[in-house]
Structure 1
Amino acid sequence: MKLLIKGGKVLDPINNIDDVMDVLITDGKITTVQKNINDNEAEIIDATDKIVCPGFIDLHVHFREPGLEYKEDITSGSEAAAVGGFTTVCCMPNTNPAIDNGSVAVYIKDRADKTGLVNVFPIGSITKGQEGKELSPIAELISAGCVAISEDGHTVASSKIMRNALEYSKMFDLPVMCHCEDKQLSREGQMHEGYFSTIYGLTGIPAEAEDVIVARDIMLSRLTGAKVHFCHVSTKGAVELISQAKEEGLNVTCEVTPHHLILSDEIVGDYDTDTKVSPPLRSQEHIEALIEGIKDGTIDCIATDHAPHHFEGKDCEYDLADFGISGLETAIAVIMDKLVDNNIITITKMVELMAVEPASILGIDKGTLNEGNLADITIIDPELTKDVDTNNFYSKGKNTPFKGSTLKGWPIMTIVNGRIVAHDGVVI
């Protein structure tokens, strides 16, 4: 089977491609990328005035299966990823049971393979049951297909156990993805601690709750030499600490979410529980630091932290609501509309943040349109404008603060392993 993507603006930062070109796909792999390809046997995809990119990769999603399928399952999550323009996603381990052994990781891989939609990689739990007491069998998790380990949703409170995890992971050159939250500082908090938490009467979570754990894990990275990746960075202090660590040459990377780049804590004043997320939406000072961190290279990539919830988890008082935003189906459009269209970053930078760098962090052979690679491709219409309608979400989670927003620049086709899996907002 052949596909021929014609006349799109091809962006492949690794190969320094930024030009109107054609992409030929044969039997699921990229055959060639060049101008004016003709092949009478190929199915033609007209990409005129569209952006053709390496498939986007989300390092940080919650598909909830096993155990919490009423919030999301691997099928619905994969559908949301496909429609959202993502060809590869990584599932966090805070499921029930947690991804703390090979059998759960294999289960996730098998379930994802049956959907046949997007590439799904499990991330193993750092400790058994995410209890922070005993390391999970990390070698077993790797053998079962895990591409990283994390305690996301929790922080490993014990510095000794965290050190052991880093030393063990270093033997496999495995990234350790850190959720940085000092629970003693954030406990019972509902939103960012500052002016608006005082005005709105909600218990605040200080930025320092993130900063102190970032500082600790940077020190442990220095001690062990292990790969440390900081999840959903949200504070100015964290950006400064990570920048200093990179200048020192430490093996650290980090991600930021679209909502932390775009939304401030002021929006919480409507008491819309869809704005409740962990870490919380921060003040404008922190947003500006995050954007500067993207521009100067401190922040490596954008990840959604896709956290779908059943409506009952959000249809309640703010202090009782679950933390999390359903982000896969809006991420690309939010970045295109709010950052690219406003000339804050270029489209090429977006591709680096959402395809090239995630692949590099994971050490997987993706994020580029190299000839011979499996054809994972995201096609974006930069002029397509439409409203965010949660009724059309494939995700079971409808919890997004962007609902009703009009956004410009949407993914219109997702190709995984040479097969079209989503087109014009519909799963194929």
Structure 2
Amino acid sequence: MKILIKNANTTSHSTNGIKNIVIENERISQISDTEIEGNFNLVIDAKFKKLIPGLIDMHVHLRDPGFEERENLETGLKAALNGGVTSVGVMPNTDPCIDNPYLVDYLNLKSEKLNLAKLFSISAVTKKREGKELVEMEKISNRGIVAFSDDGNPVEDPYLLLRALEITKKIKKPIINHCEVKELSKLGCIREGFYSNYYGISGVPDVAESIMVARDIEMARYTQSHIHIAHLSTKSSVDLIRNAKTKNIPVTSEVTHNHLLFTDKSISDFSSSKKVNPPLPTIDDQLALIEGIKDGTIDIIVSDHAPYTKEEKSVDFTKAPYGISGVETLLSSLILISKNHEIDFSRLIDKVTYFPAKIFDLGLIGDIKEGYLADLVLLDLEKEWLVEEKSLVSKGKNTPFLGSTLPGKIEMVMVSGVIKIIGGRFTWN
């Protein structure tokens, strides 16, 4: 199959501007400023719409195995494509959790059979994510996992984390740590501050996050082993990481699109779809997160996709589970963030394509460049779409965007040179 995409308004790390692009044998074989002649099986006229690399979302919960009533591999990977996400990093908080080679094989084989978005498995650090005994890290690494994480359970035991970092330094895989001192956060539902008092909801102090961030930075410094800090939400955390990077400590970090668009003030409607861990930031914290995006302190943006059933979220705010379904709103959110905070769109695209590919060593994806796999998204920036239950493919409808109109309509999604969505229609139907 030889495909030509012509008149594409391209935005990527390596290629920008109006380009004509040839795709064959899964890869981008030619990029040109001028017209390309030849015989093609398919010619797509982009009509000067935006062409970007397929998004790489490295913090996704697909709930499979064990919680398929919330999501399963098929619905989750289809939802990813519906949001322009062609690669997902899958967190191990499943039942049983991803803590052995056989469950990694299960995910890999099932995703290969589905042939939808690319799946990159993330193994637990400790068995059953209990923080007591390390998984067989070297053995499980050979199955192709890209990182280790106990997800919502931080590795609290510093000696255990030290041992894990010594191993991951040898096998060159990062540890993604959830930074939370649970003894400080266990009574809270939103960020502690003016609005927690105003709304009468117990708050989580920002030190519940920054204390653990500080510890992890010190562990990374001592071992010279890579720690990736999950979903930042406070100014103090950003400041700590910024300082660590000036000292060349091997630490990277992420933020979710929700934390860049919503604040603790947004909880005024007491919607459980805005209850998330870490909690939505104060306005001062959010501005610090934005500054961290602008100056490179924060390396990547993720969705932290956490689907729940309607029944689970249809309870009082304080009793609802933490989590937002977000893989389908990530790309549109980047457009909003670009406009709201005057950040160049190309910089944001790098945060969900080029940088995650490099940080997690994912191979030749995340860029539009000759020789790279043709994971591509064609996007009409002038069109909008309505976020409603029927427009979301994920089982999880727990998004604060429900009922909103978002910018950016996806026209085409391609994975390794194979079209999965064209003209807004899914090719798997």
Is the shorter-chain TM-score for this pair beyond 0.5, marking a shared fold?
yes
Between 150-159 and 41-50, the greater mean CA deviation after superposition: 41-50
Letter in 1 for 2:31: V
Residue number in structure 2 paired with 1:263: 262
Q: Is the 1:415–1:421 contact (alpha carbons within 8 Å) kept by the matching residues of 2?
A: yes
Residue number in structure 2 paired with 1:354: 352
Letter in 2 for 1:102: P
Between 48-57 and 326-335, the greater mean CA deviation after superposition: 48-57
User: Could you tell me which of 338, 341, 345 is aligned with 1:340?
Assistant: 338
Give the 3 Å change call, closer, same or farther, for CA 357–222 of structure 1 in structure 2.
Answer: same
SS at match of 1:395: coil
Cα deviation, 1:116-171, whole Å, max 9, x if unaligned, reads 01110110000000000000111122111210001111111111111111111100
Residue number in structure 2 paired with 1:131: 130
- Cα offset, 1:424, TM superposition: 4.5
Distance in structure 2 (CA, Å) of the matches to 1:107 and 1:133 = 24
SS at match of 2:414: strand
Q: Is the 1:83–1:426 contact (alpha carbons within 8 Å) kept by the matching residues of 2?
A: no
Q: Is the 1:333–1:411 contact (alpha carbons within 8 Å) kept by the matching residues of 2?
A: no
Q: What aligned pairs does 1:15-164 form with structure 2 within 5 A after superposition?
A: 15=14, 17-35=15-33, 36-164=35-163
SS at match of 2:161: helix
Letter in 1 for 2:361: G
Q: Is the 2:232–2:254 contact (alpha carbons within 8 Å) kept by the matching residues of 1?
A: yes
Distance in structure 2 (CA, Å) of the matches to 1:237 and 1:72 = 34
Residue number in structure 2 paired with 1:310: 309
SS at match of 1:6: strand
Distance in structure 2 (CA, Å) of the matches to 1:209 and 1:296 = 25
Distance in structure 2 (CA, Å) of the matches to 1:272 and 1:120 = 31
Residue number in structure 2 paired with 1:229: 228
Cα deviation, 1:345-386, whole Å, max 9, x if unaligned, reads 112112211100000111122112232222111222111112
Distance in structure 2 (CA, Å) of the matches to 1:362 and 1:346 = 24
Q: What aligned pairs does 1:338-417 form with structure 2 within 5 A after superposition?
A: 338-342=336-340, 344-365=342-363, 366-417=365-416
Give aligned pairs, total.
425
Q: Is the 1:57–1:355 contact (alpha carbons within 8 Å) kept by the matching residues of 2?
A: yes
Distance in structure 2 (CA, Å) of the matches to 1:177 and 1:166 = 11
Residue number in structure 2 paired with 1:189: 188
SS at match of 2:403: coil
Q: Is the 2:307–2:398 contact (alpha carbons within 8 Å) kept by the matching residues of 1?
A: yes
Distance in structure 1 (CA, Å) of the matches to 2:349 and 2:198 = 39
Give the 3 Å change call, closer, same or farther, for CA 203–359 of structure 1 in structure 2.
Answer: same
Percent same amino acid among aligned pairs? 40
SS at match of 2:348: helix
Q: Is the 1:230–1:255 contact (alpha carbons within 8 Å) kept by the matching residues of 2?
A: yes
Residue number in structure 1 paired with 2:9: 9
Q: Is the 1:98–1:130 contact (alpha carbons within 8 Å) kept by the matching residues of 2?
A: yes
- Cα offset, 1:404, TM superposition: 1.2
Letter in 2 for 1:312: E
Distance in structure 2 (CA, Å) of the matches to 1:88 and 1:332 = 13
Q: Is the 1:106–1:145 contact (alpha carbons within 8 Å) kept by the matching residues of 2?
A: no
SS at match of 1:375: coil
Distance in structure 1 (CA, Å) of the matches to 2:81 and 2:407 = 19
SS at match of 2:353: helix
Between 199-208 and 74-83, the greater mean CA deviation after superposition: 199-208
Give yes or no for the alignment of 1:326 onto 2:325.
Answer: yes
Letter in 1 for 2:352: M
Cα deviation, 1:15-49, whole Å, max 9, x if unaligned, reads 2x221011111121111011212333230112113
SS at match of 2:62: coil
Between 233-242 and 38-47, the greater mean CA deviation after superposition: 38-47
Distance in structure 1 (CA, Å) of the matches to 2:57 and 2:267 = 26
Give the TM-score taking structure 1 as reference length: 0.97
Q: Is the 1:332–1:411 contact (alpha carbons within 8 Å) kept by the matching residues of 2?
A: no
Give yes or no for the alignment of 1:220 onto 2:230.
Answer: no
Distance in structure 1 (CA, Å) of the matches to 2:418 and 2:22 = 13
Cα deviation, 1:241-287, whole Å, max 9, x if unaligned, reads 00000001011111110000010011112111000001000110000
SS at match of 1:341: helix
Distance in structure 2 (CA, Å) of the matches to 1:372 and 1:306 = 30
Q: Which runs of 5+ in 1 are unaligned?
A: none
Distance in structure 1 (CA, Å) of the matches to 2:72 and 2:425 = 18
Q: Which runs of 5+ in 2 are unaligned?
A: none
Letter in 2 for 1:126: V
Q: Is the 2:97–2:128 contact (alpha carbons within 8 Å) kept by the matching residues of 1?
A: yes
Residue number in structure 1 paired with 2:292: 293
Q: Is the 2:4–2:40 contact (alpha carbons within 8 Å) kept by the matching residues of 1?
A: no
Q: Is the 1:192–1:205 contact (alpha carbons within 8 Å) kept by the matching residues of 2?
A: yes
Q: Is the 1:126–1:136 contact (alpha carbons within 8 Å) kept by the matching residues of 2?
A: yes
Distance in structure 2 (CA, Å) of the matches to 1:250 and 1:379 = 37
Q: Is the 2:23–2:417 contact (alpha carbons within 8 Å) kept by the matching residues of 1?
A: yes
- Cα offset, 1:423, TM superposition: 3.1
Between 188-197 and 98-107, the greater mean CA deviation after superposition: 188-197
- Cα offset, 1:74, TM superposition: 0.6
